[in-house]
Each structure stands twice: as C-alpha cells, then as structure tokens.
Amino acid sequence: MSSLSNSPKQRSRQPDHEGTPQRIKSGKIRYTGYVTGQRICGAAKDTVKDAKADYKLKVQQFLTPRAIKSIAEIAFEDFAYDVIDGPFRQRKEQELMSPKTWELYEQIYRINIKGSELGRKSLSNIVPADIERWVGKLYTQERITQKGKKTFPSEPMRGSSKTRYLGMVQSVFEYAVKNEKIIAKNPAVDVPRPLDGESTSRALTDQEVADLLKLCHHELPGNGGTWRNKRRHLIVLLGLHGFGPAEICGLKYSDFDGSGFTPRRQTQRLAKVGIVHRTRLKTKARSARVPARESIIDLLDKNGNAWIVCTETGGPMEPGNLRNVFKRMVSNTEFGDVTPYDLRHTFANELLRNGIDVKTAADLMRHSVETFLRRYVHGNESLKVDAIKKLGF
C-alpha cells in the first residue's frame, strides 16, 4: 500500500480519527486511522470522497456505545470479523503472522463465511456438524486468465484447501475459548479432516520413469522445439527430485549451489494480485537442501540468474501452466493419467525403497514425519514380500 498524501507534516496535524488515505494494489482507495488506540480501516472505494465517507461512518459506529449482546446473539461472522480485523491484524503488524496468511484469513471470511449459513449462526450454538457441512459446500472461485482467453469454472475445493480453511475457522473459535472465554469448547476440534476425493496420486515404476523421460526428447514442431523439450525435461527431473508444481515454479538459479537445491519459496499467480512469493514454510525443515542428480545438473545453465523453469519471455511460470505443459506432453500416451505430483510421490517411495530412513526422507520432502507417512507412503506388494524376506526367520 502507498499513502496518497506525500506530506508527513500535513498528516501530523490531522487528528487520529481523520484517517490517512492509502491506495491499494487494486487501484482503489482506503482510509485507515486510529481512534483511542484502536485501528479503524475503511472499505476500499473508487474515489477519495467515498473512501473517506465510509471511514467516517466506521469511526462513528466505533464511538457510539453499543448494547452488550448476550452470547446467544453473537453471530459467528461478526465475531470472526472482530478477531481477524482486530487481534489477528495486530499480529500481522507485529510480524507475528505472515501478511499473506492474514490476507487468506480475510479472504476466507469475506468470501466463505460472511453471509453463509455458518456465519449467521450464533457463536454458542455451533456444533461440529455445522462446520462439517460448511466445509463440504466449499467451492473454488470462477476465474478468467488475464488475457481473457480461458475461463476456469467454479468446482468443489480440494481436500488440502478445505483443511486450510478448517484450520482458519478453528483458530477463530480457539480465540473465543482461550482469550475471550465466551464459549467453553472449540467445536472445530471434533470436525474430521476433509479427505481429498480427487487425489489419485501414485508412484511410478522404474520402467515407467524411464519411458516418461524418453517422452521429453520427442521433438516438437516449429521454432523453439529444443528449448521446449529442455523445459519439459527439467519439469520431469525436478518432479523426480520431490518438488511439487508450485515449488518447481518458484525455483531460481540462486537456489542452486552447484550440487543441490535449497527451495525457500513458492510462486503462483493469484487472481487480481499478480505474482506472489510465499515464504511461509510447511515445517522448519521446509528449507532443507535437496542434493541434485547429475542428470539435472547437466541441464542447468551455468550462468543462470533467474527462474529455472520459465516462460518464453524468461518470467516465472504459473503452476497451472506447468501442469498444462506436462499434460500436453503425456496426452495420447500411456501416461495420460499421470500428473506432476505423481513424480513427487515417486521420489518419496524411491527413498523408502532404497532404505533411506523415514526422518531423512521426510526432511528431503520438506515435511514432518507424520505428514510424510500419511500423504506419500503407498502400499506395494513387492515391498511387502521383500520386507518378510529380510526378517530372516
């Protein structure tokens, strides 16, 4: 955000409740200020006049004594707004919470909680079944590419995203239990973790990996065929190093030290936001170094200084586009149902199959041991047979 006023002296003469106009990324204007130490934030408007009017209305509402509601009258959406715009915002300003994490909280509230069946229910009357029903109805937003060439329709949200949204709701209830002490128990605790019914990831066999790598060398017609083949080869080999699509898009040559990678960030394009660098780690071991095989070292540019897997203009590739590149490569082949994430699963199972201990394998995957075992370990009949043979009795 950038302040619209360039004169600090002028701002210092204004009382706190007058607020300061700021222009946000969308180009709209928002007034913010402090009243008796409490931060007041107006809604984003197209004009300074409308933004100031909305801000003054919120200041007036804040200064007007409000009737104390009983617990039964507090709607969950009202309480969630107060928590997200109050203590959670303060955590962000104190750098105790990632700004992107706070933006996700605000987005979930604005799009999925406000006006929903769960949001309208009173805080004390919500039971786990209400939250579970809310999670089951979560859908993605319809979005259109920047050039308007393709529309991505709304569809049921994946289980991993539902789990993230459930965690946000659980945090708000936890605040009501521990800090406000207005309810005795967090109902979200008893909601089962959403399962991802769309997840069909599997580990490839050695022969399938060899055949898939051969596909990367098939010449493409037209100019840039060699370059595109190299990019496809990089995507497959990075996937076989355990990197997911978002991590592959986020890798820069600066993350490569000559013999291994240290993935520190992910990159993806969010609607109307642009390229976002996500620095929040899944675990403390998220930044674990991943040694590189010689096969991929030979493909990397010696003087590279930007993105390892990039677009034709040298910019960062979106995870969605990376998946499309992979999908076009395997279309009309025996690998038509394979996805880039299957390569990550293949890497995880290859580690275990070669006797790597679970802790090291989990570190290489940038996950906790518990998450690694739950998400990436697949049953295999031959592995079971080998395990019994190794027992020696």
Confidence of residue 79 (pLDDT cuts 50, 70, 90): very high
Task: Give the amino acid at 12.
Answer: S
Show Cβ contacts of residue 374 under 8 Å, excluding neighbours closer than 6 positions.
none
Three-state SS for 157?
coil
Render pLDDT for 120-141 as a digit per residue (tens, 0 to 9): 999 888 999 999 999 988 888 7
* CATH code 1.10.150.130 region(s) in the chain: 70-199
Q: Quick check: 286 pLDDT over 90?
A: no
330 vs 198, more confident = 330
Confidence of residue 147 (pLDDT cuts 50, 70, 90): low
pLDDT at res. 380 = 59
pLDDT at res. 249 = 84
Asked whether 3 and 20 are in contact (CB, 8 A), the reply is yes
- 122-127 long-range contacts, CB within 8 A, separation 24+: 122/71, 122/72, 122/73, 122/74, 122/75, 122/76, 123/71, 123/74, 123/75, 123/76, 123/79, 123/176, 123/182, 123/183, 124/71, 124/72, 124/74, 124/182, 124/183, 125/72, 126/76, 126/187, 127/187
Mean pLDDT in the chain?
A: 78
CATH superfamily of this structure's domain 206-391:
Intergrase catalytic core (1.10.443.10)
Fold assignment, 70-199: DNA polymerase; domain 1 (1.10.150)
The CA-based diameter of the chain, rounded to the nearest angstrom, is 86
Alpha carbon of 39 to those of 16, 34, 86, 100: distances in Å? 10, 4, 8, 19
Share of the chain above pLDDT 90, in %: 16
Render pLDDT for 220-264 as a digit per residue (tens, 0 to 9): 554 456 778 888 999 999 999 998 888 888 888 888 888 898 876
Q: What is the mean predicted confidence (pLDDT) over 171-193?
A: 88
Task: Give the amino acid at 27.
Answer: G
pTM of the model: 0.54
User: Rounded to whole angstroms, how far apart are CA atoms 20 and 29?
Assistant: 10
Alpha carbon of 371 to those of 264, 316, 343, 348, 375: distances in Å? 19, 29, 17, 12, 6
User: Rounded to whole angstroms, how far apart are CA atoms 242 and 303?
Assistant: 24
Residue given tokens 């079971």 in the structure block: 384
DSSP 151: E
User: Rounded to whole angstroms, how far apart are CA atoms 128 and 123?
Assistant: 12
Q: What is the mean predicted confidence (pLDDT) over 92-107?
A: 84
Asked whether 299 and 230 are in contact (CB, 8 A), the reply is yes
Quickly list H helices, 186-318. 206-215, 225-239, 245-250, 294-297
User: Rounded to whole angstroms, how far apart are CA atoms 109 and 119?
Assistant: 9
User: Rounded to whole angstroms, how far apart are CA atoms 290 and 294?
Assistant: 13
pLDDT at res. 273 = 36
* Exposure of 337 in the CB half-sphere (CA atoms within 13 A): 7
* CATH code 1.10.443.10 region(s) in the chain: 206-391
User: Rounded to whole angstroms, how far apart are CA atoms 260 and 251?
Assistant: 12
Q: Has domain 1-66 been given CATH number 3.30.160?
A: yes
Return the sign of the alpha-carbon dihedral for residues 5, 8, 12, 17.
Answer: positive
* CATH code 3.30.160 region(s) in the chain: 1-66
pLDDT at res. 283 = 44
